[in-house]
Amino acid sequence: MSEAAIKTGSIHVAPNPSGFGAEITGLDISAPLPPATLAAVRQAWADHAVIWFPDQPLTHDELEAFTLQIGPFGFDPFIKPMEGRPHILELRREPNETARNFGAGWHSDWSFQDEPPAGTILHSKVTPPVGGDTLYADCTAAWNALSPVMQKMLDGLTAIHSAALPYGTKGLFAHEQAGGGDRTMEIIVSPEADKTYPHPLVRTHPVTGRKALYVSPVYTVGIEGMTPEESFTLLSFLYEHMTQEKFVYRHKWRENMLTLWDNRSTLHYADGGYDGHLRVMHRTTVAGDRPR
The tens digit of pLDDT for each residue in 142-186 reads: 999 999 999 999 999 999 999 999 999 999 999 999 988 899 999
**Is 232 a domain residue?**
yes
**Is 50 a domain residue?**
no
Q: How many CB atoms lie within 10 A of CB 186?
A: 10
Burial call 231-266: b when 16+ CB within 10 Å, e when fewer: beebbeebbebbbeeebbbebebeeebbbbbbbbbb
Specify the pLDDT at position 255. 98
Q: How many domains does the chain have?
A: 1
CA distances from 42 to 55, 194, 216, 249 (A): 19, 34, 25, 20
**Is 65 a domain residue?**
no
Give the C-alpha separation, 59 to 62, whole Å.
5
Specify the pLDDT at position 270. 98
3-class SS string, the chain: CCCCCEEECCEEEEECCCCCCEEEECCCCCCCCCHHHHHHHHHHHHHHCEEEECCCCCCHHHHHHHHHHHCCECCCCCECCECCECCCEEEEECCCCCCCCCCCCCECCCCCCCCCCCEEEEEEEECCCCCCCEEEEEHHHHHHCCCHHHHHHHCCCEEEEECHHHHCCCCHHHHHHHCCCCCCCCECCCHHHHCEEEEECEEECCCCCCEEECCCCCCEEEECCCCHHHHHHHHHHHHHHHCCHHHEEEECCCCCCEEEEECCCEEEEECCCCCCCCEEEEEEEECCCCCC
**Is 61 a domain residue?**
no
* Residue type at 262 in one-letter notation: D
**Is 7 a domain residue?**
no
Specify the pLDDT at position 180. 85
Give just the sign of the alpha carbon dihedral 77, 79, 83, 87.
Answer: negative
Residue 10: pLDDT band (50, 70, 90) is confident
Give the C-alpha separation, 201 to 203, whole Å.
6
**Is 39 a domain residue?**
no
Q: Which residues contact 229 (CB under 8 A, 6 or more apart)?
A: none
Specify the pLDDT at position 8. 54
Query: pLDDT tens for residues 39-63?
Result: 999 999 999 999 999 999 999 999 9
Does residue 99 contact residue 275 with C-beta atoms inside 8 Å?
Answer: no
Does residue 199 contact residue 291 with C-beta atoms inside 8 Å?
Answer: yes
* 6, pLDDT greater than 80: no
**CA neighbours closer than 13 Å in the CB half-sphere of residue 66:** 28
Specify the pLDDT at position 181. 81
Specify the pLDDT at position 7. 54
- Per-residue pLDDT, averaged over 197-205, amounts to 98
Residue 130: pLDDT band (50, 70, 90) is very high
Residue 102 belongs to a domain with what CATH number?
A: 3.60.130.10
**Is 18 a domain residue?**
no
Specify the pLDDT at position 1. 40
**Is 1 a domain residue?**
no
Specify the pLDDT at position 232. 98
Q: Can you give the residue range of the structural domain that contains 248? A: 80-286
Specify the pLDDT at position 108. 98
* 3, pLDDT greater than 80: no
